[in-house]
Structure 1
Amino acid sequence: MKNLKKTDPQIYELVKQEEKRQHDVLEMIPSENYASEAVVETLGTVLTNKYSEGFPKKRYYQGNSVIDSVEILAAERAKKLFGVPYVNVQALSGSPANSAIYFALLKNGDKLMGMELASGGHISHGHPIGLTGRLFKIAHYKLGKDSLLDYDEIERDG
């Protein structure tokens, strides 16, 4: 980050503050889970400059041979890790990732259990205004006053 420090010392200092905060705090919100240093380094490379809509070797833009190789490698590793014949490693956001899982495992009307918004859940976890709230029977769970899950309540409502 020496170029950032030289070019914009204020942003550099804010990045350092956030690094310290993430190091010192246990984050319990799944979408804010910490990326490993290797992932952070990779996200800071020229790979992020490339728009790669579509699938490997079937892209809508030219110049994706390296991106295709990265995606194919990631997919092969995920298939091996999970022991499955197919994977899609493209989801860049929690909502599309959640939707991919829901539609792979559930049918319309199935029960979906998700954390309520006030406890740190997300609209994609079955909120009535979201798609999942319209397609599935929703059971929400929440954190207790002690910030812990009430497993008896989860078992009862699930």
Structure 2
Amino acid sequence: MKMHLAELNVGRLLAPTDDPRVADFMANLDRVNGLGKRMPGFVWMMEGSGEPGQGNTAAKIGGDPQFVSNLTVWEDVDSLETFVWKTVHKQFYDRRAEWFEVLGKMHFVMWWVPAGHQPTLAEALEKLAHKQEHGDSDAAFGWSYLKDANAWKTHGCAQVAAE
């Protein structure tokens, strides 16, 4: 059975989505998400409200409007790595401290899904909780668990942030 790579990235904005402090981030969501959707190896992305400039910010976690998530599926590790570390996405990743709180626990997880499967946010949050509780495993993991993943090591991602 062909497997694809799912990933969830969770963050809590420093301010509400309409606040000037996060305006640059919000203004570029459609651009960065649109680029991701056009990348070779992109399979699927959880969509938000559909409103321009809102990205997936409609998918609130725990009812908190400042908790936002990005849930995507990719054909393979290389495709996701290329998007994350070798496109304009990296510039926004590098600026994340301008817009997001530093979370005290893991906020990123990946796992393999059967080709054609579109994970739900609930499923993804379960994977994140599994990784937080058990660490890297075949069920849920970070970049360092993937033998084929190397770009995160050379593109300025600290081990703690990459996991």
* TM-score normalised by the chain length of structure 1: 0.26
The structure where helix makes up a greater share of residues is 1
* TM-score normalised by the chain length of structure 2: 0.26
| Larger RCO of the pair (alpha carbons < 8 Å, separation 6+) | 2
The structure where strand makes up a greater share of residues is 2
Q: Which has the larger radius of gyration?
A: 1
